[in-house]
Structure formats: structure tokens, C-alpha cells
Amino acid sequence: MDINCDLGESFGNWKLGADAALLPLITTASLACGFHAGDPVTIKRSVDNAVRNGVAVGSHPGLPDLLGFGRREMNISTEDMHAYVVYQSGALEAFLRPFGQRLNHVKPHGALYPMLNRRDDLAAATLDAMFEVMEEPVLYWPAGSEDRALVRLARERSVRVVREFYPESTYGPEGETVVERERKHVTPETAETALRRFLASGTVETAAGGTIELAAESVCVHGDGPEAAGIVKRVTEVLSELGSPPERATT
């Protein structure tokens, strides 16, 4: 299993996340690119630290909503969507090139999740942008979205989709992850219980108390969670205990 985190979400003097503690523990990072978080210096430092730790880097483009951290939906056009992904991912790739690295993947952020699940036009614009910034596009996306717009169109265009399981997130009745304005406090023990359940049975518990089946190749922990580092350490320990130490989903 791949372990990935959403990182690089500080902005100027405002610091968020335990990036320094997380990067030595994970295999893949999705870095903020300046719209919902991540100023140019933060992006540069995040890339430097990720490469130093052997972590593959993908872009985490969001809506132009610093105040709402990209978690508020906006009425945007397909031209907007395309330009947002190209602009943000292209900026990140520029920081990767001096290291001889390219973008590992694209993973849209926050409120783009429900928007791209619902709207075929925005999903198509996102994929068009991904083909412009990557020779072989790879999409990281929450598991449980297989029949929704972005994943469905990605598969039709032979774009590889790396499905993510979130041990510290809340799941809705149809397998959707709940977009939260503020991260709730989840302990490593709670996340471990969810992870072991998923690995043993391929199921997760929903907010309503039911269960649903999911399939995933990557475990994602949000880097802005209050116990993100502790959760990632526990995930690593569980995977190693089960004889499947963390490794990248892509090469």
C-alpha cells in the first residue's frame, strides 16, 4: 500500500500541518499549489523536503479560495477549471524540474471533490488539463467514486486512477468522503481500527453506522489533521506488521 499525505498547506507566516514529521514516513505527497494554500516559498521548500526524503510529488490544485481553504464550492466555468489545474500543476512542476523530477499525479482539492464527482463538463476539463501537464496522467482520488464523473471519464480515457482510503475521515452512505470545514480530532487508535477493518474486509463504517465496500491502493492521511504524524506512524506499523511495508502505487 502507498501512503500519501496532502502537504505544503502553510501560507506565508501562517503554518499548518506537520510536514517535517510526515515526509520521512510517507511514499507520496500531494502538494498545495497556491490557490487554497501554499505560497511560492512554501512550495519550493516542500518540494526540496519531499525529494530529499524520496517522496513522489503530485499536485493538489484547489479553488482560488484562501479564506475558505478551498473547501467552499464556487460557480466556475470549464475554462476556469482547465486553467486552474494547468496553472497550479505547472508551477509545481517548475520546482520539480531542477531535481530531474516530474509530477507523479494530480489530485484536486477540497470542494472540487463533490464538484468533479457531479459535473461531467468540469471533469472533462480537468482531464484535458492533466494531459497537458503530464505525459501519462495519473489521478489520485478517494475510493468509492467509481461511478461518478471524474473517475468514470478518467477510465474512459485510460487515465490511471489510484484509489485512496482515508482512515481518519467520515464516510457518507454511498462511499463519499465528507468535506469538512475544520478537521475533527481523530486519534491514532481510532484510525488504526478503521485501517485494520478495511484491510481485513474491504469495508468502512459510514457516519450513519452502516458499512460499505471499498477498494483502494493508497492510504491517505490529511496533513492538516491534529494527530496526522501519529496516525501515519500507526499506519506504517500496521502495514509492516502485516508483511506489506509501504511502497509507491506508481513508479
249 part of a folded domain: no
168 part of a folded domain: yes
Amino acid 244: pLDDT: 83
What angle (nearest 5°) sits at the alpha carbon of residue 241, between those of residues 236 and 243? 100
Q: What does the pLDDT average to over 10-39?
A: 96
**CA dihedral of residues 33, 156, 102, 36 (deg, nearest 10):** 0
250 part of a folded domain: no
- Residues 239 and 243: their CA atoms lie apart, in Å, by 6
179 part of a folded domain: yes
If you count DSSP H runs as helices and E runs as strands, how many of each does the chain have, helices first? Answer: 8, 8
Domain of 182, CATH number, reads 3.20.20.370
Residue 181 reports pLDDT greater than 80: no
Residue 183 reports pLDDT greater than 80: no
- pLDDT tens for residues 187-239? 999 999 999 999 999 999 988 888 999 999 999 999 888 899 999 999 999 99
pTM summary value: 0.94
CB 162 within 8 A of CB 217: yes
Q: Report the relative pairing of strands 203-205 and 211-213 from DSSP bridges.
A: antiparallel
- pLDDT tens for residues 82-100? 999 999 999 999 999 999 9
Q: How many domains does the chain have?
A: 1
SS3 7: strand
42 part of a folded domain: yes
For 199-231, give one letter per residue: b (16+ CB within 10 A) or e.
beeeebebeeeeebebebbbbbbbbbbebbbbb
222 part of a folded domain: yes
247 part of a folded domain: no
CB 45 within 8 A of CB 104: no
Amino acid 180: pLDDT: 66
- Residues 137 and 131: their CA atoms lie apart, in Å, by 6
251 part of a folded domain: no
Q: Which domain holds residue 95?
A: 2-241
